Amino acid sequence: MNLAVFASGRGSNFSAIVKAIKQRKIKAKLQILVCDQPQAPVIKRAQASGVQVVLVRRQDFSSRLDFEAAVTQRLKYYEIDLIILAGFMRLLSPDFVKRYRNRVINIHPSLLPAFKGASAIKDALNAGVDFTGVTVHFIDEEVDHGPVILQQKIKISPKDTLASLEKRIHILEHKLYPQAINLVINGKRKPFSQGSKTPSL
């Protein structure tokens, strides 16, 4: 199976996926990194790992439709079977989602449907809840929504700061994402109604 990782930032989840593939915990080939930010540190991580970088800058295209058409062309060229979103800071259009239905997965630093959005860790800490966590899910046309593949909880300590909670969330992400990808590749997690019981470790 051929994988593409979409990322716009540091790329720590990208590195966790590369490591899992090298350790044969994910039996697939990471064909390409798709990145929209030429200065993103994830590009250097990909180059160091021998992964082909596909840089597609949004400002080079007159519309999101043209931007996504260019991305789709690259996905077809590299015969991508599964798209892995790892900090890709662009919303995908409903048309793109429909084209790759059940072939795009995402990781989010909360127990969805709680705390959607870009500041999920901070929002959970400020809300004073006892637990937060990490969710890996198939995407659909809504933001931070779609059938759950795996979720795992983290207890929030009264001593937690934003930095300490972020660190623990990221450690959990690096463990959970490769596990979820492997389940999808092996056909052990398939899309189901989000109202169904959530799989967890």
Q: Which tokens belong to 119?
A: 């500041």
Give the active site residue among 108, 137, 170, 174.
108
Task: List Cβ<8 Å contacts ≥24 apart for 35-39.
Answer: 35/6, 35/7, 35/8, 36/8, 36/88, 36/89, 36/90, 37/8, 37/9, 37/89
The reply to whether 137 belongs to the active site is: no
- Measured distance CA(176)–CA(119) in Å, rounded: 20
Prior bond of 191 cis (ω within 30°): no
What pairs with residue 189 in β-bridges? none
Residues annotated as catalytic (active site), given as ranges = 108
